[in-house]
Amino acid sequence: MRSPSVFTARRLLTRRLLTRRLLTRRLLARRLTWGPGLCAVLLWALAQAPAPQSEARAAPRPAATVDGKGLRALFGSENRVIPTREREVALTFNAAWNDAGLDSILKELARRHAPATFFLTGDFADRHPAVVRKIAAAGHGLGNHSFSHPHFKDLTRAGRQHEVATADRALRAAGAGGAVTPFFRFPYSQTSPAHIREVNALGFADIEFTADTNGWKGTAGGMTVDRAVDRALHALRPGAVLQMHVGASHGRTEVIDARALPRILKALTARGYRVIDLRTLLTP
């Protein structure tokens, strides 16, 4: 069934077309009475009138979070939980070292049709532009994780602004395109109300996490796949935001989170949860 707006627009289109045809016929019929000069002027004026659109164009709707208030509703907060009562969770992955586990992660996300948001440092984007484009091409969102992953408390205000701005430019220069989101994640998750206000002033909402799997520590740091899975499931609740990593530090190639992801996704489904895209916070 057509919507009322489309039906009304088409009735209006038909009426205007019939009116134009009728006027044209009358002008041609009275050409001898009016004279060629006046008739030509009137016909030219009629031809310059804009043609009606075939369908009514809806006015653009403002972005809205799940609470209906738009991106600004996320300002002033760390946003460690999505505001929902549904069994929904969001997956996020940080990248600052290497991309050792990326292919495995993207393959599993695609197999499960699960969206994710990847928070990349600008330095990582500069070193791995092909990775940035690969993530974007896979349909996932890209967030800002600063340029060099410093401790923000040790920087001046200008230094913090520079970290955010240069990371954003690096993502765009690498070919992130429309995958870039207005989301920022503080290095080491070290936030403060003042620093969040600074980030908000630059147009970014701070998105942290409910729980980190700690897979980034690797076996050298006492982590195993079982422990990473347990940490993710222990934090499970409506609106939980899980943090994982796509690479390993200090030249290591073992990525526990990449190995844990299939089990995490399987357990989420078994418990009645679905994975949502953080970008849904920006849509009505």
Residue 227 is encoded by which pair of tokens? 């422990």
- Write the pLDDT tens digit of every residue in 152-203: 999 999 999 999 999 999 999 999 999 999 999 999 999 999 999 999 999 9
Strand partners, 144: 120, 184
Confidence at residue 120, expressed as pLDDT on a 0 to 100 scale = 98
Q: Among 221, 216, 220, which Cα is nearest to 259's?
A: 216
pTM, full prediction: 0.76
CA angle (190, 195, 198) in 5-degree steps: 145
Q: What is the per-residue pLDDT across 52-85, written as a single tens digit (0 to 9) for each?
A: 333 333 333 333 444 556 788 899 999 999 989 9
239's tokens: 């609106």
pLDDT at 33: 40
In contact, 261 and 108? CB cutoff 8 Å: yes
Q: What is the pLDDT of residue 284?
A: 58
Give residue-wise pLDDT tens across range 8-44: 444 444 455 445 554 445 544 444 344 434 343 333 3
Which residue has better confidence, 41 or 120?
A: 120
pLDDT of residue 94: 98
Place of tokens 């006015």: 59
The structural domains of the chain, with segments of one domain joined by +, span: 4-48, 71-282
Note the pLDDT tens digit of each residue in 107-119: 999 999 999 999 9
Query: Is the pLDDT confidence value at 100 over 70?
Result: yes
Q: Could you give the CA distance from residue 68 to residue 62 in angstroms, rounded to a whole number?
A: 10
d(CA 168, CA 76): 20
Write out pLDDT tens, residues 198-242: 999 999 999 999 999 999 999 999 999 999 999 999 999 999 999
**pLDDT class for 249, splitting at 50, 70, 90?**
confident
| CA terminus-to-terminus distance, the chain | 23
CATH architecture of 71-282: Alpha-Beta Barrel (3.20)
* pLDDT surpasses 60 at 106: yes
Q: Tell me what pLDDT residue 275 has.
A: 98
Give pLDDT, residue 9.
Answer: 47
Q: What's the 3-state SS for the chain?
A: CCCHHHHHHHHHHHHHHHHHHHHHHHHHHCHHHHCHHHHHHHHHHHHHCCCCCCCCCCCCCCCCCCCCCCHHHHCCCCCCECCCCCCEEEEEEEECCCCCCHHHHHHHHHHHCCCCEEEECHHHHHHCHHHHHHHHHCCCEEEECCCCCCCHHHCCHHHHHHHHHHHHHHHHHCCCHHHEEEEECCHHHCCCHHHHHHHHHCCCEECCCCEECCHHHCHHHCCCHHHHHHHHHHCCCCCEEEEEECCCCCCCCCCHHHHHHHHHHHHHHHCCCEECCHHHHHCC
The residue that leads in pLDDT, 49 or 170, is 170
Q: Report how far residue 226's alpha carbon sits from residue 206's, in angstroms, rounded to the nearest whole number.
A: 30
Q: Quick one: pLDDT band at residue 139, thresholds 50, 70, 90?
A: very high
Pair of tokens at residue 131: 């990775």
pLDDT score, position 129: 98
Predicted confidence at residue 146, as pLDDT, reads 98
